[in-house]
Amino acid sequence: MAAPRVPPWTQVPRQDGRRFVVTGANSGIGFETAKALAARGASVVLAVRDRAKGMGAAARMTGDVEVRDLDVSDLGSVRAFAADLGEVDVLVNNAGILGVPFGLSPDGVELHLATNHLGHFALANLLLPRLSDRVVVVGSLSHRSGVLDLEDLDWQRRGYAPYAAYAQSKLANLLFLAELQRRLTAAGSTRRATGAHPGSSATAITASTGNRLTTWVGSWGHGLVGMPPWRGALPVLYAAAMDVPGNTYLGPHRLREMSGWPVSVGRSRSATDPDLAKALWEVSESLSGVTFPLA
């Protein structure tokens, strides 16, 4: 029997009176997410590391758009951003790096983990007391190959492998999603955590690998078979704007979640391990100095 046809979802409902923060909003999935939300009446904060690029992105959007400085790999920057933000309805944790050479953040944390997970972990917890609706976690298909070694997060024992480090950080994203929702539910909060991944989308995330061949192959491959960024952003927009339960995880509906329209998708066995999620949370609190504020 043929699989049921999934109707395309492209229409973001009106978001008047709602304030969103989108990290990494100057390009790719973050840009398309912020652009669509602003066009539908939302007030959108573009949280970016490069202000000039952020201003350029804002100039290509319509609506109420504000650019603010945020380097999610730097916990000092995260704290300064959160302290000065005010009330917000939705936080979209989108910023990320992929396949970069080994390096440490200003806080001494491996760069993939610092950027893709730890900074967003801290930001979400710092904003929760002033956040009315939800945290959206942007994941990746790569989480399925991720192995989270809590005893070797800085890759000293294993030997550093850029794409394995990326996959580990994306597995950490989904563990954070599940544990955040568990804690919100236990605290009796109406806030929720949702997640989404963009499938294979033609964005510039491979541009910072430091390896010309890897950058070219990644950009060429995604350009050839990947969806345009606006379509890759649709699962993220659905997770941010539609009424879905906490811990919902969305992605494209066909070609093994690489292409298509937003539907609820599965995740790896490791990503649903509650003990691993709790252990990661404890390590993340220790590394960031930020704790869950609603307990």
Instruction: Please give the positions annotated as active site.
Output: 166
- Give the type of residue at 143: H
**Beta-carbon neighbour count of residue 196 at 10 Å?**
32
The two three-digit tokens of residue 121, written as one number: 């972990």
Q: Which of 67, 27, 71, 69 is nearest to 45 (CA)?
A: 67
Helical H runs in the chain? 28-39, 51-59, 75-83, 111-112, 119-127, 162-186, 212-225, 229-232, 234-241, 274-288
Pair 80, 110: CB distance under 8 Å: no
SS3 46: strand
